[in-house]
A and B are shown apart, each in its own frame.
Chain A
């Protein structure tokens, strides 16, 4: 345990327990996520997920402190490498890293050399030489986080890779659900919208099924990818079919691009079948928790009365995003967790 972390334990007793726990877990040998990167939920164990959520829980109060700063990542260089425009996720990661006292560098596509034709590999090698400890990457192509990870001993966090995965979004969603519902087991979660092109849907399908929830998909057939049910979910084309048992209604953003590609005839018709408004929400049997990864399209997948209503947890999701990302950054950067000492 480093001096930095020791100092940190003095200020937050809650972390102490976690550190002890982490120490014992290291000896159990199957220390998956912390071995190096956080790239996919698909390859995580349930225990890894629980550990991140517990860690986030112990960080929760930090955001309410008058001075939101703890020294856990002091002296570490965290790079936000975003090949795709993002405000929400990048800002969330930046605040998480800064709250942990890391030095944060933001690289966005417009200023990066990616546009000048430098390869992903060379960008990663450059960041390695500059001493990056953690690279947070977003790219429009699946598998890019793995490609970057191969180039050095730094840790990689996937902030969204094409249609692939968005693990930190999924973890903050689990955290938000667990805070409200106590447990994820046996909950019925309905994910509605464009599944084919959604990394959020993929990560959440893996995460929720691992945690023992029942996952239902509601989408037009044009936006349901091949063989989806083999991932352990139930596919529906009509929202009415899930109204009886849904506990959580997770809405996905519809992108205008899909309209141009004729996945559905019009936004109007999409909203008619898959848009959620207060009236439709009343038809559900249970009190439904409405979630959305943002940014929302008011009037398309979600109406203003639901977006601003009492059942909606969108703002909590955003706040929890910072806490969960702090937990991930903290766990991933601990000493002795590098790939080199796994063998």
Chain B
């Protein structure tokens, strides 16, 4: 038994808020939530969390754990540790590993490795096309039988609209969403950053915002044609958001997420050629940042996901053009978002927590993101007032490609509890 005493509860799923105690049973589920709960159990662990924010365990629906195949960048164990340290009890990993997650046995391998780590819940997104090659449909049904929660060719779009249509139709029988990485390969070309004033200033090949929004528009049209669930992941442009807004107004099953970096950084950060700012979709000018912030405030955006994408130091220590796309996020997301969105008054803490818990859980239909009696005891306890300086060198993630190095941020995870077990305390994995 574990009893969290006197915490300030924030549970956007049920609108629960205010000071209460939470009792967790031996099976790892929430036994009781209420005032002045006592336990007469001898060896119950009683933790005083007064003055701290108690929220559902955070959910990150878009991470890259690099295993199998790229264990030098990250692996399932280090990725789950990074998640635990960052307050995430549920994460969803993308299929662009080597081999690609396009068969049942790869899904099973990942789930077994995660089970052995015992650090929160890892769900798998399977490839939509075999080998992520965009030619033939992967054995989606077989992977669903092994527990995948979405399909995606993340890293690219399915260029062939006809294959995209067939995949969307097919996944209806499993009621899972397609997570769309929206990028027209032709329009993106050899671009490495947003096409705009900064790219022109420093002479870098650009990716126009429309490389994203033309695919968003196409796939929303196909969502209408097929009636399937389409989730636009790491949405980053004003126009993409407009398409999603209209689709939702029409009643289509379209959802989207946005990353912390597209909410907090602009393409100005690329000016000094820091390869840690190289990410796909690229950092955008302020106009797009303002648009996605507005989308969050209006509720058009369902979730915030890190797109945690670790790379080895030597891979990022190259020219901007050569360096791989991607930045890590699991250990910084919450603090960066609290600092830049909550402390500035853009969102309430409750609104932010919604996008990190029930929002993504609902998109994927996961049993996560709620504090209620009978739910799994996945709980994150946060002190929103603690200030700290981001230092990637001490991360659990093997990746050091963090664009926030040196940022002063507020908000520290005190406890990460998954399945009734403390998996991280004060940022230290248990």
Q: Which residues of A does B touch, CB under 8 Å?
A: 42, 119-121, 139, 141-144, 146-147, 161-165, 199, 202, 225-228, 230-231
* A119 CB contact (under 8 Å) in B197, B200, B318: B318
A147-B273, A226-B195, A226-B206 given; A142·B200 CB < 8 A: no
Chain B 202-237, CB-CB to A under 8 Å as 1, else 0, gives 111110100000000000000000000000000000
- The answer to whether the Cβ of B322 comes within 8 Å of any Cβ in the partner chain is yes
B-chain residues with CB within 8 Å of residue A143 when the two chains form the complex: 202, 273, 319-320
A147 touches B319 (CB 8 A): yes
Distance of A306 from chain B, by nearest CB (Å): 28
B-chain residues with CB within 8 Å of residue A199 when the two chains form the complex: 203
* B201 CB contact (under 8 Å) in A42, A119, A146, A147: A42
B-chain residues with CB within 8 Å of residue A231 when the two chains form the complex: 200-201
A-chain residues with CB within 8 Å of residue B205 when the two chains form the complex: 163
A141-B320, A142-B204 given; A225·B199 CB < 8 A: yes
A225-B200, A228-B200 given; A141·B206 CB < 8 A: no
A143-B202, A146-B273 given; A226·B317 CB < 8 A: no
B273 touches A142 (CB 8 A): yes
- The answer to whether the Cβ of B196 comes within 8 Å of any Cβ in the partner chain is yes
A139 touches B319 (CB 8 A): yes
Total interface residues on B, CB under 8 Å, equals 21
A189 to B195, CA, bound (A): 26
Which residue of B is nearest A140, CB measured? B321
- The answer to whether the Cβ of B314 comes within 8 Å of any Cβ in the partner chain is yes
A120 touches B319 (CB 8 A): yes
B-chain residues with CB within 8 Å of residue A165 when the two chains form the complex: 203
A-chain residues with CB within 8 Å of residue B321 when the two chains form the complex: 141-142, 162
Distance of A202 from chain B, by nearest CB (Å): 5
- The answer to whether the Cβ of B251 comes within 8 Å of any Cβ in the partner chain is no
Q: Given A147-B318, A226-B197, output 16 extra A-B contacts at Cβ < 8 Å.
A: A119-B317, A121-B317, A142-B203, A142-B204, A143-B202, A143-B319, A143-B320, A165-B203, A202-B201, A225-B199, A225-B200, A225-B206, A226-B196, A226-B206, A226-B208, A227-B196
A120-B319, A146-B272 given; A163·B203 CB < 8 A: yes
A161 to B320, CA, bound (A): 12
Within 8 A of A (CB), among B170-206: 195-197, 199-206
A97 to B411, CA, bound (A): 56
Within 8 A of A (CB), among B306-320: 314, 317-320
B204 touches A163 (CB 8 A): yes
B-chain residues with CB within 8 Å of residue A202 when the two chains form the complex: 201, 203
A142 to B202, CA, bound (A): 7
A-chain residues with CB within 8 Å of residue B314 when the two chains form the complex: 119
A121-B317, A143-B273, A147-B273 given; A162·B203 CB < 8 A: yes
A164 touches B203 (CB 8 A): yes
Distance of B257 from chain A, by nearest CB (Å): 27
User: Can you list 9 residue pairs at the A/B interface with Cβ under 8 Å?
Assistant: A142-B319, A144-B319, A162-B203, A162-B204, A162-B321, A164-B203, A164-B204, A226-B195, A226-B206
Which residue of B is nearest A163, CB measured? B203
Within 8 A of A (CB), among B285-332: 314, 317-322
Distance of A181 from chain B, by nearest CB (Å): 27
B-chain residues with CB within 8 Å of residue A139 when the two chains form the complex: 319
A226 touches B319 (CB 8 A): no
Which residue of A is nearest B204, CB measured? A142
A120 touches B203 (CB 8 A): no
A-chain residues with CB within 8 Å of residue B320 when the two chains form the complex: 141-143
A164 to B199, CA, bound (A): 9
Which residue of B is nearest A143, CB measured? B273
B-chain residues with CB within 8 Å of residue A164 when the two chains form the complex: 202-204
Please provide the 8 A-B residue pairs with the shortest distance between their CB atoms, ordered closest to farther: A143-B273, A163-B203, A141-B319, A164-B203, A227-B197, A225-B200, A141-B321, A142-B203
B-chain residues with CB within 8 Å of residue A161 when the two chains form the complex: 203
A324 to B314, CA, bound (A): 37
Within 8 A of A (CB), among B266-280: 272-273
A-chain residues with CB within 8 Å of residue B202 when the two chains form the complex: 142-143, 164
Distance of B212 from chain A, by nearest CB (Å): 15
A-chain residues with CB within 8 Å of residue B317 when the two chains form the complex: 119, 121, 147
Distance of A74 from chain B, by nearest CB (Å): 34
A189 to B426, CA, bound (A): 62
A129 to B320, CA, bound (A): 25
A162 to B203, CA, bound (A): 7
A225 to B193, CA, bound (A): 14
Distance of B313 from chain A, by nearest CB (Å): 10
Which residue of A is nearest B273, CB measured? A143
